């Protein structure tokens, strides 16, 4: 029982971390060479690019990752459980661990996608993005 509680806590932390990533588009400022650039125009362009990035949903990516990770973890756990004699417990532990990892990976992937959208958008508007 203690193992499952531990995995539940990890899963909750993964969900909270992903929720934090959901605001990535609102705060991300790429490194841009702003020499000879009107700052007001740049800020307006950045705001518009952030609007595009908000269309990428890190929470949805995290949820998909959690489902897939949980299914894979349950399958692997069941195989290990079959070898050790406790299929149900091993499958539950595998599902919890897999879901936790999947949520984190999916959320990170979604946050990275938002950053990529912002950088591409700014490049498309003629800015020299350095990161």
Residues in the chain: 131
The CA-atom distances, in angstroms, between 112 and each of 15, 21, 51 are 16, 9, 15
Per-residue pLDDT tens for 83-106?
A: 888 888 888 888 888 888 888 887
Per-residue pLDDT for 79 more than 90? no
Residues paired with residue 128 on neighbouring β-strands, in sequence order: 33
Which pTM value belongs to this model?
Answer: 0.64
* The two structure tokens encoding residue 33: 């060479």
Tens-place pLDDT, residues 39-71: 999 999 999 999 999 988 777 767 777 888 888
Asked whether the predicted pLDDT for residue 18 surpasses 60, the reply is no
């Amino acid at each position: 029982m203690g193992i499952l509680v531990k995995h539940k806590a990890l899963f909750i932390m993964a969900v909270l971390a992903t929720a934090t990533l959901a605001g990535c588009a609102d705060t991300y400022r790429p490194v841009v060479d702003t020499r000879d650039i009107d700052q007001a125009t740049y800020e307006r362009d950045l705001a518009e690019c952030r609007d595009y990035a908000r269309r990428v949903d890190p929470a949805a990516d995290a949820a998909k990752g959690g489902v897939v990770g949980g299914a894979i973890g349950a399958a692997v756990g069941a195989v290990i459980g079959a070898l050790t004699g406790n299929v149900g417990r091993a499958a539950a532990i595998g599902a919890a661990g897999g879901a936790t990892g999947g949520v984190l990976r999916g959320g990170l992937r979604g946050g990275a996608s938002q950053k990529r959208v912002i950088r591409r958008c700014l490049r498309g508007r003629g800015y020299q993005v350095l990161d």
